[in-house]
Amino acid sequence: MKAGFVLKPKADEKIKRDFLEIKKIFEKNNIEVLIDTVCAKLIGLLGMDFNKMCEEADFLVALGGDGTLISLTRRSYRYHKPILGINAGKLGFLTDINPENINEFIEKFLKGEYRIDERMVIEVEFNNNLLYAFNDVVISKDINSSMIHIDIDTNEAHLNTYHGDGLIISTPTGSTAYNLSAGGPVVYPLTESFILTPICPHSLTQRPLVIPSKFKIEAKVKEDFAKMIIDGQEIFDINSDIKLRKAKYPAKLIHRMERNYFDVLREKLHWGEG
């Protein structure tokens, strides 16, 4: 069995120590460890090409925060490999296993005592290219623009024209990210739906909306200066219409059997605290 690792971009000595300790645990359990060249260089090691690593690995591992896992999920999407998140960040909505617990988890993992959650991914057709979003697609005004106008059509009908700073089109997984900050709803991550949340709308009647994942969405921006941001990590100038639909395959996340999403919400959002 082989595991392909990526590390958070600002890898420090602690990440290096964590990686080397985890590598030792994996190898003790007959799991060969591969690491991406860019990440390996950050901690003074040799690695291998990212795509080759994805091809060879039986599963992938993100050692970092949620952003590291989101980036890995998007970059590795076409390989359809399950991904394990080890939390070396702060929030940990998605990366629920801590480095100090990895030995216990691997013992259970090798016995088949784990689960794989399948999460919806958005496929984005833009400039004759296909892109993928795990959290969200944000259509945003340029910093120098006062407002943008976004026409949203679906395969069912014209939906709305949004006036304001922009629009977030989120997956259920991304509902606890930018969508939540903008006043959108929390949606259970294993559901399949699009969440459309306006950013600073010009009219207070523009409210967040949840629609079925079977819908195909087309976004047309009337202004010349606007941006499309995928997962908060990739930015594109908008110069054509944007088509969005549920991707054919879900992302697959490896989790502990004991993990409960509502426990995570209560912990991370401090629900129930006075």
Where in the sequence numbering do the catalytic residues fall?
Answer: 66
Q: With CA atoms as reference, report the closest residue to 162 among 185, 192, 196, 194.
A: 196
Tally DSSP H helices, then E strands, for the chain: 7, 17
d(CA 65, CA 68): 5
Instruction: Specify whether the CB–CB gap between 118 and 252 falls below 8 A.
Output: yes
Number of other CB atoms surrounding residue 269 within 10 Å: 13
Instruction: Specify whether the CB–CB gap between 217 and 194 falls below 8 A.
Output: yes
d(CA 35, CA 38): 9
d(CA 93, CA 119): 14
Q: With CA atoms as reference, report the closest residue to 179 among 190, 167, 164.
A: 167
Instruction: Specify whether the CB–CB gap between 237 and 78 falls below 8 A.
Output: no
Strand pairing partners for 2?
A: 32
